[in-house]
Amino acid sequence: MPGFEFFGEEERKEVNEVLETGILMRYGFDAQRKGKWKAKELEQALCDKLQVPYAQLTSSGTTALTTVMAALGLGAGDEVIMPTFTFVASFESVFSVGAIPVLVDIDDTLTLDPAAVEAAITPRTKAVMPVHMCGAMADLDALKAICDKHNLILLEDACQSFGGSYKGKALGTIGHAGTFSFDFVKTITCAEGGGIVTHSRDVYTKSDAYSDHGHDHLGVDRGADLHPHFGYNFRISELHAAVGLAQLRKLDQFLAIQRQTKKILKDALATLPEVSFRRLPDPEGDSATFLGFFLPEAAQAQRASANLKAAGIVNFYYFDNNWHYIRKWDHFKEGKTLNRFHPQLEAAMAGYATREFPVSDALISRCICTPINLSWSEEEVKERAEKLVQAVKAAL
């Protein structure tokens, strides 16, 4: 799964080119950098690869989300519909612009349930944010239809699914904007980094400025830039962009390995009739970073997860996970923030202290996800497939 598994001479070459100039910042120092602009080069490469006109790099997937939410005009009092199953950065970003996260149930795609989204819309709803979890896509046709019907923003949190697609279009490029994470354990890594893609020049221009203290970047003298609006320091460095540039060139190789390995594991597990698999709205677009499957009962899934761990197979039983599922987000449910929420946001959050999500619980409590690594040999994949089947079979 993580690009760092194939970190090598290509990445070192790109990083060394930056080190040789001594210019580690992405802006300014034009003469000293000797024509090396790694962030700009990576942004253009992302546009070319994903077939989208605009890309903006940031320091992380979290800052990418915060930046693009601001660029899309999301703010105080606006409701953003998002899933119960995601990474905490999704709701952190909503808080960062003063908006209100409205969590709704997932379905067997492990992403937003379109029916739950429709039921959650109020006059204050401004955006729907599907999170393409564990490498695969939400039902974007249904979600886009809902957004079109209600004149809502469709913002794709594609931080966990770079390289995936939906009906021939790259995930992240289908809504009004999309975001990616390039942290150390993503399909391609910058070590730390994030990205925004959009078809809107306005969203891009605002994102470009917002991620760099509001600089308009229109002049040749950084010190003379104008500031059309506030911004923050969410810049990526040239060193991080250099790593990502080399990694992006390997993406097709990464995806091919993951898809081949996942098929072997899935085919082996499919021999057990009690096992069902995560539904993929477009199987061809799966980036195959994870294999997600369900067992009939929660207790069986718990046992299977423990068996897999004992067998040396990394797996995630997200029902008991502190980072990715609402059940254990106590800081979220109790509104534990270092800075005070606006009273409207505070009131909206109060309901989460007691709110339950039985539909999501019923799915996540029966679900196991196991990551697909890039560096496994053929023999290791075969051995893992056998251990996977044995561990699950013993739990049934």
Q: How far apart are CA 14 and CA 354, in angstroms?
A: 51
Residue keyed to tokens 């021999």: 271
Nearest CA to 90 out of 280, 325, 286 is that of 325
**In this structure, what are the phi and psi dihedrals at residue 165, rounded to the nearest 5 degrees?**
-145, 165
DSSP character string of 309-344: HHTT---B-GGG-TTTBGGG-HHHHTT--SSPPPHH
**H or E element in which residue 302 lies:** helix 298-310
Q: Of residues 186, 206, 250, 266, which has the active-site annotation?
A: 186
Q: Which residues contact 174 (CB under 8 A, 6 or more apart)?
A: 140, 144, 154, 156, 166
**H or E element in which residue 241 lies:** helix 238-248
For the question of residue 186 being annotated catalytic, the response is yes
Q: Residue 320 CB: number of other CB atoms within 10 A?
A: 13
**In whole angstroms, how far apart are CA 49 and each of 46, 128, 248?**
5, 25, 9
Find how far residue 188's CA is from the centre of its chain: 12
Active site residues: 186
